[in-house]
Amino acid sequence: MEILSERGTELLQDPVPGYLVPKIAIQNCCCTIYFLVMWQNTTSIEYYTRHSAQDLSQQEGKHLFKFSKENMIKLAHEE
């Protein structure tokens, strides 16, 4: 989280939302990205699923997703 908080302004200025996070993760030698999506946010769930994120849980009204390094690289280059 520290890496992303330092880059917050850059993330907000990203012209293609969602592509900068995997780029930053890869540059910082991260192997996975974990994040939560509220169950009501079906648009995001469909987006992440379409881009190879794994839905790890559906407990407590949240979906926990994971991108592997391979899929982060794919997503980061889809601009």
- The question of whether 47 is a catalytic residue gets the answer no
19, 34, 47, 48: the active-site residue: 48
- Tell me the C-alpha distance between 3 and 60, whole Å: 28
61 token code pair = 């009204």
Non-local CB neighbours of 54 within 8 Å, separated by 6+ positions: 65, 66, 67, 68
* Strand-by-strand arrangement of the 32-38 sheet: 32-38, 62-68, 54-57
Catalytic residues: 48
